[in-house]
Structure 1
Amino acid sequence: MKRVVITGAGTINALGQNVPQTLAAMREGVCGIGPLSFRDVERLQIQIGGQVRDFHAEARYNRQQISLYDRFTLFTLEAAREAIEQSGLVFSGELAARTGVVLGTAGGGVSTWDDNYRAVYEEGKNRVHPFVVPKLMNNAAASHVSMEWNLKGPSFTVSTACASSNHAMAQAFAMVRSGMAPAMVTGGSESMLCFGGVKAWEGLRVMSRDACRPFSANRNGMVQGEGAGIFVFEEMSHAMKRGADILCEVVGFAMTSDASDIVMPSKAGAARAITGALEDARIDREEVGYINAHGTGTAANDKTECAAVADAFGPHADNLMISSTKSMHGHLIGGTGAVELLACIMALRDGVIAPTIGYEEPDPECALDVVPNTAREAKVKVALSNAFAFGGMNAVLALRAV
């Protein structure tokens, strides 16, 4: 089995349009959630979100390209460019032939669906653009990344709701670890912040109208976000041989299914994913210092996740730091695990623990160290990233400092 490291990271989200901006915002506890701005937002009950502001695709892409790219694809391409440039890899020959792309998204081209449903049903048009299907399909982003950087290895998209990115990164990790690929581009993206995207989530009645307050007793729901997080996973000896800057090591993962309820989370399913990731990584639970929580800010998720952590770690749970950066950038649905992996890298590489902002009242059912409101300096050797999705789909990644 090969050892796997991360040699490149890229992102665009409500906190920043690159990794340095995002990590600086996380360190400072910046809230990227604010009033939404798009067509017909006034018709929505929920009018806040972690929206990417001042993103001008026209500055980088021509009209023909933009006609092919949904917003989630644009986000992916921006983040992938940053990650691949940081990695220093140039994909040609055998490296290009064996390197692929595995990305996560829950909805794919939601804005494209929304715009074209409007055109046909509301405006009465009988024709749509001939590239609507290639634009909205869930694998569009992965396909465009493979074409842009000449990646000819295994490439596909994973769609498991809010666990999509973690499932995708787990698959990429497994491919590199097994020797199937020397490197993989992986992560996820989402852009559901349009009228139809938010209206659909309103129907679930799990959305907050004012803020995301994970683990706080007065939390009242999740807040949607948008963006992308993309990484280069590389076989360690390959990275070391070329003198790459290694951000951290990916050491294990686990995936479980609750097999119980389509929307209510299961403590047992989450706990099995956490312990499974530790077992796969061959890590003692006492080595873990930080967990980036799924932490959506809903009553059900937060108490269930805390109970799962307590079950999985026993007495060591009291020594863990656990925070939810969704309080800052919102819930990126299928892309959320990818952006949140940055907080794990920051903890391992920089010794800075991102806070859970918006925390106001202790909840006896969330009685862990949730790093409330202010970032913390701490030396961490091992971190976990949790993702627990509707449908009972759980995926946990384990990372180690290098």
Structure 2
Amino acid sequence: MGMNRYRFSRRAEVLGKSVYDHASGVIMLSVGSAYPPILPDLSREAASSAQGYLAEVMQYGPLMGLPELRETIAAYVSEDSVECNAENVLITNGAKHATDLACRVFTEAGDKIIVTAPTYMTTLQCLRSHNLDIVAIPQDDDGLRTDLLEQRLETMRANAETLPKLLFDVPDFHNPTGITMSLERRKHLLRLSEQFGFVILEDDPYRRIRFEGEAIAPIKSMDQNGMVVAIGTVSKILAPGLRIGWAIGAPEIVRRMALQKSDGGSCPFTQRLVIEAIRSNKLHEHIEIVTKTMRTHRDAMIDALAEFLPDAKVRRPQGGYFLWAELPKGVSGDALAAEAVSHGVEIGSGRLCFPVEDPGNFLRFSYSYVDPETIREGIRRLGDAYRKIAG
């Protein structure tokens, strides 16, 4: 076999480790998967869907998604003050599919997109595959620093640079930091989007999984001029294996997104399952179970980190699936994540979440997948790994 037999695309040059690859036989504290004991039993819905809707569920589905599901999602988000109709709703294969379609609709290679530093790591992979120029803006306890964003945008405009077309953020229980953006920042961000002409991709997978505190209005609920595409999913509130997400936006946006699909329309069988689960109130009941369980898991992880890794500064999220921890300066998150695997526990290095420069000393944890006792044991092992590399 000679060299260069295959001529791969530039985006396929990298053959690194995927965030979906996991070491076998280790305690998984890195992955935002559902907690297996509470996965919903949808066998009744599956049977009634297959029997009563055979021609619908075993056929190609409509490009935009099943009309009934689009109506059901519009009603679901209206509980959260987002006013929309079925024509604003596009059904996708999970939330990341919606982000990818939005990038296809709005961007060419080299266009700018604004994200937080850090941000959701698999979205970063998507943005890089579109060859986008990533504008990274820091956060504080109130979320994305809209004051710094405004300065950056004014500087770009003054220098006659092309302005960003999109902004991606997770305003509620941000992945990975757990921060929730304040109402003031949300309003400021919306004003900036109108002033500088970028569309906000508001990714909200965890919004309903709130442990304490008051809910803050979604940015989409304040959007008068169609500047926000709200992205949602049943992955965290029902089951990730269903692969059902959605995008809510102006009809001319979501229609164009639908036309970029390469999959013959999202799966009608799982769409029908979601319709049935929402109508029977099973979704709302399941959200309560998930919230109660995840609160217990979060507390177990925070307690274990205080006990076994007290050097780490941990942010306490009010909801969601993830914890973000800062190690002392000079301790490498990459090195600790690698050492942890040999101690039988998998965590995420913060590097994966930084779009540009990585400070080097952050870790990302998920408390969703294993029970509190296993979380505690995993963090105990992590403490051993830490002492080994920190000397």
TM-score tier, shorter chain, comes to: under 0.3
Give the alignment's TM-score, normalised by structure 1.
Answer: 0.24
Give the alignment's TM-score, normalised by structure 2.
Answer: 0.25
- Structure with the larger strand share: 1
